[in-house]
Each structure stands twice: as structure tokens, then as C-alpha cells.
A and B are shown apart, each in its own frame.
Chain A
């Protein structure tokens, strides 16, 4: 009986291995079927001496409603791109939560997914897992217009932020990258306390205003975290900009460089961080933040809508965000910059487009990407849909939804993809948004100070084990420290201790090693 069982198990195992092999070898592209776009129109033929246009699959994140079918938009975009570059597109919009899951599955199963956005802040891990195609030659050959746009809007050094091990692996979304920490507040409340926006010039000015708000409105919470679960007060963003700290593309904060010292240190062991969390602790104890700030489920927007919150610190680009927030909250919200932004690599390489390393049509993908960055019609068809049906033009830069339609009811719109799609300076904006703001953002792009390590990308591959343990420790302590709910005198040493136990020193050494290597290659 026992022997029989064993034989059976063995047979099952063999069958598994055989089936597994078959599963893996199935030819690519079985899944493309549903979104067929008619091919071989006369226009396409003209452009390429009768060669059949190649189809590119592009997956993007959308915050708008996903339509039942993308056929209409695919055809409209493909019509343009067939003429211009003899390529067609199969656009795949996914919601923000599904997106990375869908892309990773597609990449793991070698399904077609030519153009995709890596998860935010994980550029290096995509490259070291060989998920990205090296783009140097492709950009050279098919991406000239795109490069021209990027260099005009950001600067010549743009590709530095996406170059790793000597190759360019991605193209950054071309937009305003500077998101300085801003004091975001309800201006009506501020005025009632007798202060004006001129009284806010630095973070040190805030406590006296908060005291005044507290006195006048005892029920109101002066400072609300901008994001919740986990609670984010943007203290680190503020410290980064105020003290010119380069996180070296690693949001964990273990291993940063301050100024141009060239020495990798643990952010949480520095006096800068200690003073920062002490300040938050003081704010917390004075009641500027709500008692349950670490676990609250109401973010700044909800609190200010309900009239319970007064201000927050948020990273926003340009000058129009206040207006948008006001419209959403039905309050008068304004913003004031606390310190200028500081460019380190992740400021630019967070939102980027990669071509899959297993793509069968990398050239076509680059040709298409080139058009998305440099061709107004292609870009705006992806963003706004078809003119007359999904949007109406108001003037050169402005559009609106057709009469009686809104973002929710219009058949197609991806207007909330403006931060990830193509060049911001070619995008139409909604009626009522100031066009000067785009120019202001581009000016900031060129003028914002760059870290001396701009272009360095940390690869966590060798220290994955330590890295994962550190992430866990960080999750445990950081929200409490950054919001002042935990007493730094007591908790900070414990936090540092746990980080070291999790292998912080190993990560710092690895980072220093990689940074030194990178620096030596720069000369």
C-alpha cells in the first residue's frame, strides 16, 4: 500500500513537470485577440512601403472610469500613429490598485506588455530583475523628438536619472518634477485669527498660528496629516528639502547623504531627524494634531471638507493646486512654499515608462512612445479621447467636456493621467486652469537645485534580506514618530536599535560602496 502511494505521487509529479513545461512554452500573444484593430489601411501602407504596422501594447494607470471597451480610442490613436510611424496601439487602462499586479503578472508570464510603468520608487528592482529593455540605441534611432522635448522641459541631464549600470532603462514622464513642501491651509480661518499669508515664511512660524487657531476654534485640529494609513505628515519631505538630503532612491531612509558630504549615513541617527521629530512631538503635545493621528482614517481633504481641519503640509507642484483643492473641498484653500525643492534621482525616476525586456517589438514601442511625448494629437487623444465626442476645444490649450457631460458621465477620458502620460507642455488642460502654471513648472524644473548625486540609483538586490526586515521596522515606528504620537526620547533609540538589528549597517555599507563606484564612474 505504501509503495503504491509513492508510485502514484511520483506519477503525479512527472505529470506536473511535463505540464509545467508545456504551459511555459505556449507561444506569446494568445491574449491579444479581443481588441483587434483593423490593420492595413491605405495611410499605414503609404508610410512604410506596404509593411504591416506593428502593434504595441501599452498599460497605463487611470484614475478615471475605465470604459467597457477601448476599441474606439485604440482605433483613433492607431489611425494617427499608423500614418506617422507605422505602429498601432492596444491601450490597457487599469485602476491604481490593479495596475502593478496586472503588469507584474504579465511580465512574469511573458504575456505581451510592451510599455509599462514600474511601481513607484522601484525603478532599480525592475532593472535588476531584468524586466526593462535597455533603451540607449532605441532612443538614439527612434526617440529624437522625445529627447528634444525632455531636454527642453527639464534639462540635458534628464536621462541621468534613469541610467543604471551604463544603460538608459526608462523614459521619465515629462512634467513639473518639483514638488516642494507647501503649507496648505484654509485661508478664511487664517484671516479670522488675524494673521495673513505674509506671516508664514518658514515652518517656525506655524506654532503661533496654530495657537491662535486653537484659541478661536477649540474643536478644530490645526494640523492634519495629508495621508493616512500609514499616517504621513511630510516631515521627511520637509527635512529633505530644507537640509538638502539625498535619499539615494531608497524611501526607507536608511542610508542618505546630507549636502555634498559624500558620506552615507542613517537618516534616523542624525540630529536633523531628531530635531524634526522633537518638533512634531511638541506640536502633538500642544494639541495641534489629533490624539489618534496614527490610526485616523480621515485624511486632510476629508477633515477640511468637514470644517474640522485647518492645515497640512503637502508636496505640490505649480501654483494651481490650491484652486483644485478649494473646488473639491468647497473651502478657500491656499498654499505657501516653505522651502524650495531639491532634486535627487527619485524626484525624476519615480514615474517612468519602461519597455519590457521580453517585448517582441521594442522598436515599434519606442516609435510609439516618441509620439506620445512629442505629438500633441496622439497624446491628447489618449488623455481626452476623440474631439467632439469626448471633449470640446475651447482654445489652443484648453478643453472641456461636451455639454451636459462630466468626467464621470463622458464616454472616455483619462484626464487624470496627466502626471504620467507624455509631455505636460503638450497636454490640453481643463477650462479654467491657468496655462501659465505649466510654464512655471517647467521653469522650476530647470532652476531647482540638483543633488550632486543626481543620477545615482541604489540597487537593493544584494541586501534584499536586510532591506525587507528594515521595511518592517520602519513601518512599526515611523508613522508614530513623524506625527509626534511617540516620544522620541524614549522611542527613537529603540527604533535605531531595531534598525541596526535588522541590518541597517549592511545596507549603509552596500550603499556607500555603490555610491563610491558610481562617483568614480562619473569622472
Chain B
């Protein structure tokens, strides 16, 4: 009798919940899953007369160009290191901003700050590259002309010194995304029950203690989710940031070449969908394996926060 009711209960919630999920699932199936059949293009030599379905299979031939180059190591290293830096620093900056934002109680100020913080995200990378160029170019750039020169320091030719670019690109990235990403954390902080802080205050906890003992632990699940999502895309990079912002300067390849920019430059003249699919698949598979690993670890330590 008891088990029967339990089962009925379970069925009772499955159907309505599935109905709620249905529109989203159908959309995802059409928009994302059906086109995934295109992954097989990575293993084909496309013959347009035969059509993409009937073209010949060529095994892993399309993947070869990713490893044929001397840059294979450099681009993989750059992609990984930049992503790691972006994940760690980006999370810290966003959290920092979010915590500060949650202190601003004045409605008007809060609106102005929010609008200001998402602003950099609205500017297209091409325009960003113009702005960076305005600061850094050798002849008329702000930094050389208005800062280094008056100080009597030697001018720097920014676009030919690769050593400085990890710093510049990280700065540009943080500037562009931190404010935007902080919005997520702001939303989650807003969702925290105010009563918890109240009782902490009564217990005599100072501001810092509240942040480290209440806010951050409560944000942990969302931080972990954001981290896992970022790990999944660790072999991808923001093309505009690494291609447009360094002005495609050859002298900077050693620190600005990523897998995406390499694929773009290599295939510019070949226009081969087989090879570009292969590159995309390679990035996805690596990201997928890493995220499965990371998720497994998270599941062991803290099952509640795991992605799935």
C-alpha cells in the first residue's frame, strides 16, 4: 500500500515536470542536437557534387593540420594558460565587484553602477581593438605620447614586444567581462536570506567575517558551476581578443596565438569545412573530458554542487 502510493506520487510529479521542461527540451533538441550530426563532417572529404552525406570518409586526415605545425605546442600552451588565468582572476574580480555592489543600497547609484559595469561588454571587439590601439600605438598612442614621454622614459613599441601581451590581454579581458559576469553573483547574493546576516551581526560578526563565513560559502555552488562551465571551454578562446586586439601582429604570435586564431589563419585560404569541423571537434572533446574529470572530483567532495 505504501509503496503503491509512493510510486503514484512519483509518477504524479514526473509528468507535470516533464511537461514544464518540454518546450525547452524540444527547442534544445532542434536547435542543438539535430545539427550535431554535422560532427561527422570532421571525418569526411567533402565532395559537393555528392553532397555532405555521401562524401568519402577520410578518417582523421582532417585533424592532421592541427599538429603538423611548430606552433602546436605554443598555441595549446597559450590557450590553456590564458584560460586558467581568466578563470581564476575573472572569478576573483567578478566576486569582488559583486560583493561591493551588494553593499550599495542606494537605488539610483546601484543602477548607474550596473549600467556602467556592463558597458565594456557591449562594445564589439573591433572597437575595443581600436581603443587599445589608441592607447598603445607607437606614433600617436596615449601611453607613449602622454605618459612615457613627459616622464622622460623611453617609448615602447608595444606591438612588437610579445612579453607584455599576456598582461595586456588579461587586462582587456578582465575589463570587458568582470562587470558583466559579476551580475550573476549579484543576483545570487540578492537571493540570500537577509536574516542570516542579521543573526550573524547579533553574534558579533564583523563585515569581513560575514563575507568570508556567509556570502562566499553560500555562493560556492554557483562558483563551482561557473568554473565547470569554463573548464568545458578551456580549449576555446575569444577570437576577437586574440586576433583583433593584437592587430594580428606577427611579432606577437608567441604570446597571442591560440588554437582558434591558428585555425582561422591556417584555413583562411582553404575554406575547408571538413578541417574546420575537425578543429572544433578536437576542442570540444578535450573540454568534455576535462569537465567530466572535474565534475567527478566535485561530486566526490561535494555531491550537491556537481553539475550532473
Contact = CB atoms under 8 A, between A and B. Distances in A.
Contacts of A480: 250-251
A349 to B, nearest CB: 15
A116 B138 CA distance: 43
B65 interface: yes
A122 B37 CA distance: 28
Contact of B271 (A125, A475, A486, A501): A125
B170 to A, nearest CB: 20
Contacts of A19: 34, 37
Contacts of B2: none
A297 interface: yes
Which one of B51, B133, B251, B273 has the greatest number of beta carbons of chain A within 10 Å? B251
Contacts of B53: 20-21, 24
A226 B281 CA distance: 38
B69 interface: yes
B33 A460 contact: no
Which one of A16, A252, A295 has the greatest number of beta carbons of chain B within 10 Å? A295
Interface in B175-197: none
Interface residues of B, number: 44
Contacts of B161: none
Interface stretch (B42-50, B203-211, B294-302): B42-50
B148 interface: no
B73 interface: no
Nearest to A129: B48
Contacts of B61: 465
B198 interface: no
A465 B267 CA distance: 10
Interface in B46-76: 46-53, 61, 64-65, 68-71
A502 B270 contact: no
A460 B247 contact: no
Interface in A224-247: 229-230
B269 A251 contact: yes
A229 B157 contact: no
Interface in B97-156: 130, 133, 137-139
B248 interface: yes
Interface stretch (A55-63, A104-112, A271-279, A420-428): A104-112
B116 to A, nearest CB: 27
A130 interface: yes
Contacts of A291: 138-139, 157
A357 B71 CA distance: 37
B201 interface: no
A229 B270 contact: no
A131 B50 CA distance: 10
Interface in A442-495: 460, 464-469, 471-473, 475-480, 485-486
A248 interface: no
B266 interface: yes
Contacts of A476: 250, 253
Nearest to B159: A295
B18 interface: no
Nearest to A469: B69
Interface in B160-178: 160
Contacts of A299: none
Contacts of A110: 51
A464 B159 contact: no
Given A130-B49, A131-B48, A464 B65 contact: yes
A468 B268 CA distance: 8
A290 B46 CA distance: 45
A498 interface: yes
A420 to B, nearest CB: 19
A296 interface: yes
B37 A20 contact: yes
Interface string B266-283: 111111110100000000
A12 B138 contact: no
Contact of A358 (B48, B270, B273): B48
Interface string B16-47: 00000000000000000110110000000011
B249 interface: yes
A476 B70 CA distance: 13
Contacts of B70: 498, 501-502
Interface in A486-517: 486, 498, 501-503
Contacts of A119: 271
A16 B69 contact: no
A162 interface: no
B248 A125 contact: no
B250 A478 contact: yes
B265 interface: yes
A122 B69 contact: no
Given A107-B48, A297-B133, A125 B272 contact: yes
B262 interface: yes
A251 B64 CA distance: 22
B237 to A, nearest CB: 16
A472 B262 contact: yes
Nearest to B253: A476
A78 interface: no
A472 B250 contact: no
Interface string A357-400: 11000000000000000000000000000000000000000000
A345 to B, nearest CB: 16
B94 to A, nearest CB: 31
A20 to B, nearest CB: 4
A205 interface: no
A296 B137 contact: yes
Nearest to A356: B48
Nearest to B71: A472
Interface string A56-85: 000000000000000000000000000000
Nearest to A468: B266
A121 interface: yes
Contact of B48 (A12, A130, A294, A296): A130
B250 A294 contact: yes
A122 B51 contact: no
Which one of B138, B159, B249, B262 has the greatest number of beta carbons of chain A within 10 Å? B249
Nearest to B250: A476
Nearest to B133: A297
Interface in B206-256: 247-251, 253
A147 interface: no
A120 B68 CA distance: 26
A17 interface: yes
Nearest to B64: A465
A469 B267 CA distance: 9
Contacts of A465: 61, 64-65, 68
A451 B34 CA distance: 51
A254 to B, nearest CB: 12
A194 interface: no
Contact of B159 (A131, A294, A466, A501): A294
Interface string A178-192: 000000000000000
Given A24-B52, A295-B247, A297-B247, 10 more contacts: A16-B37, A100-B271, A121-B269, A125-B271, A130-B49, A291-B139, A294-B250, A295-B248, A358-B49, A471-B265
17 contacts: A16-B33, A16-B34, A19-B37, A23-B34, A24-B52, A104-B273, A122-B271, A129-B48, A229-B247, A295-B137, A357-B49, A464-B272, A464-B275, A468-B68, A469-B69, A471-B266, A475-B265
Q: Which 6 A-B pairs have the closest CB atoms?
A: A468-B266, A20-B37, A295-B247, A476-B250, A130-B49, A292-B138
